[in-house]
Amino acid sequence: MNIPEVILCKFGEVVLKGANRQNFESSLVKELRRRASPHGIFKIYYKQSTLYIEPQNSECDMDGMYDTARCVFGIVGVNRAAVCEKNMESIKAMAREYLPEKLAGKRTFKVDAKRSDKRFPLTSPEISAEIGGVILSTVRGIKVDVHSPDVTVTVEVRDDHAYIRAGQEPGAGGLPLRSAGRGLLLLSGGIDSPVAGCMMAKRGMDIEALHFESFPYTSERAREKVMTLAEEMCRFVSRMHVHVISLTHVQEEIRDRCEEDYFTILLRIFMMKLAERTAREYNCHALITGESLGQVASQTLAAIEVTDSVVNMPVFRPCIGLDKNEIVIEARRYGTFDTSILPFEDCCTVFTPRHPKTKPRIEDVMRELDKLDVEALLDEAYATMTTETKLVFPEYK
Ligand code: ATP
Ligand code: MG
């Protein structure tokens, strides 16, 4: 027999948001409705502090919907649950049928019953005891452990139905997408910047991306790699415009006119200024980079002080306090790692100095910058911008 199942989601910090709470809730419901369409027809609604995702026919792809729900920011817990009528006979029959497969291989369990319908004839402890009995008699070898069970079985008796589930998986956490303004991510092909973008999206930011290339020193394939990364990020950020600016002439001018030790920091100044200009044009109110303190010469405190001083906008660096291995864990979680490690060149790796300045003095950097026609180079680079839009699936609107 096919067991009727639904997906139940718990919201996170959204519930703390006072007057804004309703906006947050409705934006989450909307996002889930948009994201559900490739998986079939689902009824999605919010009731009694739970988001319900109910398949409307047998064609619905529950596994796909479940994976999608786990990528939606603002949701802290995702479960599949069996649905049955609100009477003890049905609940016990469903527990007998549904739970043995879910509890296979587990050694210990406890039952946690919740009864939001207070007219239900049994109390929560009585429901727990009855369902505990059913499990002990149908799942061979399993024992009760109320303190640290392998799995918690939850029985919820709600307004319309009863729901039975085993365990709970964490959701993506954070706040709903687009609830915290828009930020411009400086997206390279590396491991760190996709993670930085996802981390800020997790705090509710709408992410727009800017990539710098240096054709022919960087290749078409390097650009494609960045576009693939942007597509992969869309599993979490849903939609992203990716702007691409060519730094070829800027880099050639720096190479021809400036002292080698300053190549990297000068390039970064151009990147930051062009990013700020892009941000202002596209209504972004922060820049986001994947920098991590001390990771390379351009990420020392002194170098960051210089690059920060050339823009008038907040610069978010969510990876700043993370070690590389911690960033890698996040990159795997967000699904960008395997693409990030493909070996293509980045504009930061062409014309790299042998001895980059790790403690650049701002006056020295500005003296080098004065050797260039900065405004003309910025205008020229900005005019090379092209834009592609990436979506989690083609019909996402
Ligand atoms: P990542 O792994 O993100 O490439 P990284 O360790 O290689 O970082 P850098 O190359 O110094 O570090 O770059 C630091 C940050 O500058 C990146 O995280 C990214 O935000 C930005 N950046 C670097 N190269 C580019 C590029 N080609 N286009 C856009 N942003 C870039
Ligand atoms: Mg890089």
Distance (Å) from CA 372 to ligand 1 centroid: 23
Q: Is 296 in the pocket of ligand 1 (CB under 6 A)?
A: yes
N residues, the chain: 397
Beta-bridge partners for 114:
156
Ligand 1 pocket test, pick from 185, 187, 193, 198 with the greatest ligand atom count within 8 Å of Cβ, gives: 193
**Dihedral (C-alpha) 229, 235, 238, 241: value to the nearest 10 degrees?**
0
Residue 60 is assigned to a structural domain of this protein: yes
DSSP 299-349: GSHHHHHHHHHT-SS-EE-TTTT--HHHHHHHHHHTT-HHHHTS----GGG
At residue 133, what are phi and psi to the nearest 5 degrees? -60, -45
Question: Structural domain of residue 150, as residue ranges?
Answer: 5-170
Question: Same structural domain for residues 160 and 213?
Answer: no
Residue 109 is assigned to a structural domain of this protein: yes
Tokens of 390: 């990436």
CATH code, 71: 3.30.2130.30
Residue 175 is assigned to a structural domain of this protein: no
Distance (Å) from CA 280 to ligand 1 centroid: 21
Question: Same structural domain for residues 84 and 222?
Answer: no
Residue given tokens 């411009």 in the structure block: 184
Among 237, 241, 242, 270, which residue's Cα sits nearest to residue 351? Answer: 270
CA distance 103 to 140: 10
Query: Nearest ligand to the C-alpha of residue 195?
Result: 1
Cite the beta strand spans of 247-283 per DSSP E: none
Structural domain ending residue among the three candidates 142, 170, 198: 170
Residue 396 is assigned to a structural domain of this protein: no
> How many alpha carbons lie under 13 Å from residue 391 in its C-beta half-sphere?
8
Q: Is 374 in the pocket of ligand 1 (CB under 6 A)?
A: no
Measured CA distances, 90 to 110, 113, 327 (Å): 20, 15, 47
pLDDT in tens, the chain (397 residues): 578 999 999 988 766 667 778 888 888 999 999 999 999 999 999 988 899 999 999 999 999 999 999 999 999 999 999 999 999 999 999 999 999 999 999 999 999 999 988 899 999 999 999 999 999 999 999 999 999 999 999 999 998 899 999 998 999 999 999 988 999 999 999 999 999 999 999 999 999 999 999 999 999 999 999 999 999 999 999 999 999 999 999 999 999 999 999 999 999 999 999 999 999 999 999 999 999 998 877 788 989 999 999 999 999 999 999 999 999 999 999 999 999 999 888 877 778 888 888 888 999 999 999 999 999 999 999 999 999 999 999 999 8
Distance (Å) from CA 305 to ligand 2 centroid: 19
Beta-bridge partners for 245:
212
Number of H helices, E strands in the chain: 13, 15
Number of domains in the chain: 2
Q: Is 291 in the pocket of ligand 1 (CB under 6 A)?
A: yes
Question: Same structural domain for residues 106 and 208?
Answer: no
- Please say whether the beta carbons of 189 and 27 come within 8 A: no
Distance (Å) from CA 361 to ligand 2 centroid: 23
The minimum-distance atom of ligand 1 relative to the CA of 185 is 20
Residue 306 is assigned to a structural domain of this protein: yes
- Please say whether the beta carbons of 69 and 31 come within 8 A: no
CA distance 231 to 118: 47
At residue 294, what are phi and psi to the nearest 5 degrees? 80, 0
Distance (Å) from CA 316 to ligand 1 centroid: 13
Distance (Å) from CA 312 to ligand 1 centroid: 20
Q: Strands 287-288, 315-316: parallel, antiparallel or unpaired by DSSP?
A: parallel
Structural domain ending residue among the three candidates 170, 196, 215: 170
pLDDT of residue 155: 97
CA distance 185 to 86: 49
pLDDT of residue 128: 97
Q: How many CB atoms lie within 10 A of CB 41?
A: 12
Query: Nearest ligand to the C-alpha of residue 229?
Result: 1
pTM (two decimals) = 0.93
CATH code, 210: 3.40.50.620
Residue 342 is assigned to a structural domain of this protein: yes
Q: Is 186 in the pocket of ligand 1 (CB under 6 A)?
A: yes
3-state secondary structure of 143: strand
Distance (Å) from CA 213 to ligand 1 centroid: 11
Question: Same structural domain for residues 110 and 157?
Answer: yes
Ligand 1 pocket test, pick from 219, 334, 348 with the greatest ligand atom count within 8 Å of Cβ, gives: 348
The minimum-distance atom of ligand 1 relative to the CA of 298 is 11
Q: Is 348 in the pocket of ligand 1 (CB under 6 A)?
A: yes
Q: Is 346 in the pocket of ligand 1 (CB under 6 A)?
A: yes
Q: Is 384 in the pocket of ligand 1 (CB under 6 A)?
A: no
Q: Is 347 in the pocket of ligand 1 (CB under 6 A)?
A: yes
Say which amino acid occupies 59: E
Question: Same structural domain for residues 248 and 366?
Answer: yes
The alpha helices in 112-165, defined as continuous H runs, are 124-138
Tokens of 266: 């000068």
Question: Same structural domain for residues 67 and 212?
Answer: no
Distance (Å) from CA 135 to ligand 1 centroid: 53
Question: Same structural domain for residues 156 and 243?
Answer: no
